[in-house]
A and B are shown apart, each in its own frame.
Chain A
Amino acid sequence: MANRIPRVPVREQDPKVRATNFDEVCYGYNKEEALLEASRCLNCKNPRCMTACPVSLQIPRFIAELAAGNIAGAAAVIAEDSSLPAVCGRVCPQETQCEGSCILGVKGEPVAIGKLERFVADYSRQEGKPAAENAGAKAKNGHKVAVIGSGPAGLACASDLAKWGYDVTVFEALHKAGGVLEYGIPEFRLPKDKVLKHEIDDVRALGVKIETNVIVGRTITIDSLMDKEGFEAVFIGTGAGLPKFMNIPGENLNGVFSANEFLTRNNLMKAWREDYLTPIHAGKKVCVVGGGNVAMDAARTALRLGAEVHIVYRRTEAELPARREEVHHAAEEGIIFDMLTNPVEVIGDEKGWVKALKCIKMELGEPDESGRRSPVPVAGSEFEIPTETVIMALGTSPNPLISKTTQGLETSKRGCLVANEEGATTRPGVFAGGDAVTGAATVILAMGAGRTAAKAIDTYLKQQQ
């Protein structure tokens, strides 16, 4: 009977209204909605959802607790595997992971696992129950582990190690913990003070120390951590923070920004708020170049700052690498999609400010090695889009600060750290995971890599004893 109930729709802020504010787009489920949606789960013996989850969240178990009305129990089940459920419930690509594997999705709509995870996390937080209490940390074992970077990979790794009794210190280069969750993902998708801060406090409650304003590779080095400060193992979860540019003429004109700069000013530095001092420049019209989640975030941020926003992408809408939900939300809010369009030059005025983006029309040719049909320029089709601002959202690559300052740490041609499946790098005692190893990917894959490396660090340190 249960599976005849249709998926419970989730309430969202009206697109016209939300285009003018930074409040969260999705309201999430209330208790009645969550319990009803939870009742749809078939509690499969072979839960494909769980296999598809990079952190192996015990999905049927937590949903069963929730369906029975035991929300605290559901939170405890989640806490065994994740310290960031309110984050993951919001930003994970569930459609290609847990929900994409849900048996109900074969004939109808999958269980809204992400929204349920979010509900459990939000409800527990509002009830004021710290996850650490549920997770039950073990007694300290006296072994010190350093985690570099407080993004999803680092926090996941630190949480597991702390639960197993390790003395963990996380070193963060910025002034606030969270990595890309803090500087990259906008407030309207992931509220900072309301949601993120609490999940990071939960990680602290496990006994994890977080030291901000420490740049490994400048302030300290991996060698000094291991030789002088007594850390027996190090996990590098420094992400992929370096912006890419197109290397086209005019890219250094005033008004051309990397998506990283634009989003960091707005998110980490809170430039959207009148009472914060950091400036941000959007102007009346903005072109965002790129088609990934970061491009959507930058575009929707510029829109909320009052600009008319165009997404300029060289392939078609079908190839946009961003999550469908993000593209859909962006379109609903009034973002204009200029597809099969590739910039060739940024044109400036006499004062050196952007006045137009010169583009060329593209058409899809033969499929490339990634299987996507590669875009080919249409000869003679150049045209100009008048614009005040250009935001380059072309992807990011790992920061070389650590690899350049650490002996024995190999990197790939793309600048990614070389690590095996367990996360061990080419230097003994040093592990790595997340975007620093794979190049830019997702929050949840980074968390999965952090957990895998935590296991490997535990094994390594036990062997050393």
Chain B
Amino acid sequence: MREISLSQAVNEALAEEMRRDPTVFILGEDVAEAGTPFKVLSGLVEEFGTGRVIDTPISEPGFVGMAVGAAMTGARPVVDLMFGDFLYLVMDQLCNQAAKQHYMSGGKLTVPMVLRTNLGATRRSAAQHSQSLQALVAHIPGLKVALPSSAYEAKGLMKTAIRDNNPVVIFEDKLMYQDKAPVPEEEYLIPFGEAAVKREGTDITLIATSSMVQVAGKAAEILAAEGISAEVIDPRTIVPLDEATLLESVKKTARAIVIDEGHQSYGVTAEIASRLNEKAFYHLDAPVLRMGAMDVPVPFSPALEDLTVPTPEGVAANARRLCAGELLHAA
């Protein structure tokens, strides 16, 4: 199968959906002429014109609000939010308006918009351009949240997001735009709420999102060399969450580590760990561990920044301790 980069995969998904459905359009900063700082949208304005690939002024609340209105009145906008960190600017448009219109209109209105943004540190982009804020939006009922872990997921999830009648936020990892993965030529969609077992194992389940799936995969390699068989599962969407697949795996392995690049406290990892605790407690042979980004603003210093995110070695070390039956917390 051909291999394409994550940015090409997103580009293909958008182009295919825009050809299929004339109500799909893109708006955001630098989406047309520049094709975004990450070159994800290159070539789209040439095919679809400035009427469907719209450069906006630098006003996130403005253009996200426009997208909500367009979605409510029959269009399917795909909003480009250049950095996930800018979510703070659009909280009202996204969480108060987009997420709640269907509910508050008694089902008369739908908001079929997609908000494309990104997450991920270790790009030396400092504290205001390095955050992973998926927990923030996953907390709000009415929003769906997708976290593609490769080019394959990026394309399939984007196409599903565009066709969904609810507001969907997709976080792409900034570091993965150039990562290539096999992507079929023919059309495919990845349904929401369907986790992917990326690697089968019997001793411990590593549940990882976005680029942490790669981290978990490398950790599984390290562990395999030591005789520990790790299962790697990518939930792909955290809202909705494929609980059944996670529970089935944890019931088999009796141990789990949940890895997500958001800050560890009050995060995605906590939510998933909590569900495993509630629904698989009597199958657990060790406490479920969370691994997220350190609870600090992401440092600019490369040496410091690299310490704040989970690494394969760190995941492997924790997995080793769980499998050894070490007492992790005070008695």
A and B physically associate: no
